A and B are shown apart, each in its own frame.
Chain A
Amino acid sequence: MKQKILPYLLLAPMMLIMGVLVFYPIAATFSYSLKKWKLTAPGDIRFIGFDNYKNILKSESFWYSLQNTLFLLVLVVVATSILGVLVSLFLNIQVKGAGILLAVAVLPWALPPYVNGILWRFVFHSGYGFMNKVLIGLGMVDKPVEWLTSRWMLLVVVAIVVVWRSVPFMALVCLAGRQSIPHGLYEAAKIDGAGTFQIFRRITFPLMLPFIGIGITSTSVTAVNVFDEIVALSGYSDMGKNILVESYLTTFTFLDFGKGSAVTYLVMFVAAILGVFYLKSLNKEVEY
């Protein structure tokens, strides 16, 4: 009898924390999303079904921020994948101090994303920041570029910072993939007379593909959930907001808990779809 209860006892602290701080709030957020509930009108809280969702889907602000989310998603995933593979091939070269290099490569991942945003804000400062100094010094532009004051330029800078933080993980996953390829395959290919590029295209790349898949899905989840970098680079301006910032603004600036909860549920829907792919890609076994 004791043996039967033991596993549940061991799980109890975790279930308690998760129940109170995760599962209950997720359910509660859904129930909020079905209500008219503004903190500015505390007397007028009532059930309104899916009206919040309908209003959001009709609002320009939502589609604007969704565009920003998708723009970031595509840019971040594409750039992170390419750079991640390149960095992993670079890190795979056997040299003295490879361990330190690996640790340096991980740094951007390990630091506060908000502070990362601040570091890059100095690089892309609209006055004489680093980028402008270099571009003017090289004679590529005459006057400082305003990096952070137009929508697409700002989003490109946000994407750069997010890519900077996401490449380490991508590179590590790819590196694990690269190192799992049996050495014999390369020797056999060389004996058959394959060139460097051919070896990459026929052996390295296809065998790394499942690992790249894991990296891509994880990066997508990151890209949809970008928040800190946007705030660091543009404050809470409307221009650079993605859906998460929109959800934050709706809830905590406009104090519309009902609508804010509904926006959150829409983000969660997108994240959950990506999440299912992520979990699937993790459970896939790699075979040779």
Chain B
Amino acid sequence: MKYLKKTGYIVSLLVFLFLVLGPFIWTFVISVTPEYAMFAKTTDLLPEVVTFDNYMEIFSGGRRGGLILTGIVNSLKAVATTLIVGIPVCMLSAYALSRMEFKGRNLIRNLLLITMVIPVMATIIPLFRLFVARELLDNVFWLSLVYVSSYLPLITWLMSDYFATIPKELEEAAWIDGCGRMNTFFRIIVPASYPIILSAALIMFLNTWNQFQIPLILASSLETKPIAIVVSEFMTKDSVQYGLTAAAGIIAVIPPAVTALIFRRFLISGMMGGAVKG
């Protein structure tokens, strides 16, 4: 019985790993297969010859390969901007919504929450007009601000749930000692919330890295196009370059994959914080 259980577990483990990692492994295989052997009429799964030309082209800054590096830099710039703007804005709002009594609190909370389910397309047409009129289509800052607007509700909600778990007595003791409201926020709330700040930063990083629909419309210049858009352009050019696209795909998933694996605890608690209370 015990033996049977163990075998069952190992089989399901293998199936699980195959289903999750299979597409990455296969894409990697494609990326190191010479172009002529890529879809040769054979059922052999692995190529006879391995080549790293596609990766060389990307990192040597060749004409087409160089675009991918530019895309990565653009994505990183957007990540930095969303974090710098998003985290403080969300923390201040979350603090007000979770710790203060004021008129319209519930209204603001509900308004925020309802925007969580609104599709990007509902806001993008006027934004596109705005971006065209103000010549912002090559501006990473404004693009990132649009990303931030789509994360604000979720992150604010995550944070205000977390703030609610910090004992009120801590703050009250500081008030009695003559500390002002903002002072206690910076001295007590902020230091006590580093786990949620890290979770929020991870979620924002991943979401910004993954953007496709918004930049498809709002990022038309080389200075703003994020990595996913660059990859998509490899796919739609007249002659599809499978090897290069595969290599670009692998490079595009490495930063988020590594980050997710390293910070898994914070990522998972952040994902769950939004869905399951307590």
A residues near B (Cβ < 8 Å) are: 3-4, 6-8, 10-11, 13-15, 17-18, 21-26, 28-29, 32, 87, 90, 93, 95, 99-116, 118-120, 122-123, 125, 127-130, 133-134, 136-137, 164, 169, 172-173, 176-177, 211, 214-215, 218, 221, 224-225, 227-228, 231-232, 235, 244, 247-248, 251-252, 257, 260-261, 264-265, 267-268, 271-272, 274-275, 278-279, 282
Contact = CB atoms under 8 A, between A and B. Distances in A.
B273 to A, nearest CB: 11
B116 A173 contact: no
Contacts of A224: 119
Main secondary structure of the interface of B (DSSP, over half): helix
Interface of B: 9, 12-13, 16-17, 19-24, 26-27, 30, 39-45, 88-90, 92-93, 95-97, 100, 102, 105, 108, 111-128, 130, 145-146, 148-150, 152, 156, 181-182, 206, 209-213, 217, 227-228, 231-232, 235-236, 242, 245-246, 249, 252-253, 256-257, 259-261, 264-265, 267-268, 271-272, 275-277
A251 B125 contact: yes
B26 A122 contact: yes
B172 to A, nearest CB: 14
B249 A115 contact: yes
Main secondary structure of the interface of A (DSSP, over half): helix
Residue among B23, B24, B182, B264 with the most chain A CB within 10 A? B23
Given A119-B26, A169-B271, A264-B121, A21 B242 contact: no
B100 A125 contact: no
A96 to B, nearest CB: 12
B89 A17 contact: yes
B268 A118 contact: no
Contacts of A6: 96, 100, 181-182
Contact of B252 (A104, A112, A244, A248): A112
25 contacts: A4-B102, A7-B105, A10-B100, A17-B152, A23-B111, A100-B261, A103-B260, A107-B257, A110-B260, A113-B212, A114-B212, A114-B228, A114-B231, A115-B228, A119-B253, A130-B26, A133-B44, A211-B276, A231-B232, A235-B235, A247-B121, A252-B128, A257-B125, A264-B122, A265-B122
A235 B236 contact: yes
B118 to A, nearest CB: 6
Nearest to B246: A122
Contacts, number: 257
A119 B249 contact: yes
Contacts of B121: 244, 247-248, 251, 264, 267
A268 B118 CA distance: 6
Contacts of A7: 96, 100, 102, 105
B92 A14 contact: yes
Contacts of A228: 212-213, 228
Contact of A18 (B20, B39, B149, B231): B149
A35 B55 CA distance: 50
Given A108-B20, A172-B272, A102 B264 contact: yes
B244 to A, nearest CB: 12
Given A7-B96, A17-B148, A115-B231, A106 B268 contact: yes
Contacts of A106: 260, 264, 267-268, 271
A14 B43 contact: no
A163 to B, nearest CB: 10
Contact of A118 (B118, B181, B245, B261): B245
B107 to A, nearest CB: 11
B11 to A, nearest CB: 11
Contacts of A93: 9
A112 B228 contact: yes
A116 B20 CA distance: 11
Contact of A22 (B96, B108, B149): B149
Contacts of B261: 100, 103-104, 107
Residue among A7, A26, A28, A130 with the most chain B CB within 10 A? A7
Contacts of A115: 228, 231, 249, 252-253
Given A25-B124, A25-B127, A272 B118 contact: yes
B61 to A, nearest CB: 21
A214 B276 contact: yes
Given A134-B43, A231-B212, 14 more contacts: A15-B108, A25-B127, A101-B16, A103-B261, A106-B260, A110-B256, A111-B210, A114-B232, A119-B26, A133-B42, A133-B45, A172-B268, A251-B125, A268-B119
A17 B210 contact: no
B191 to A, nearest CB: 18
Nearest to A130: B26
B125 A267 contact: no
Contact of A21 (B19, B21, B146, B246): B146
Given A122-B246, A173-B272, A87 B122 contact: no
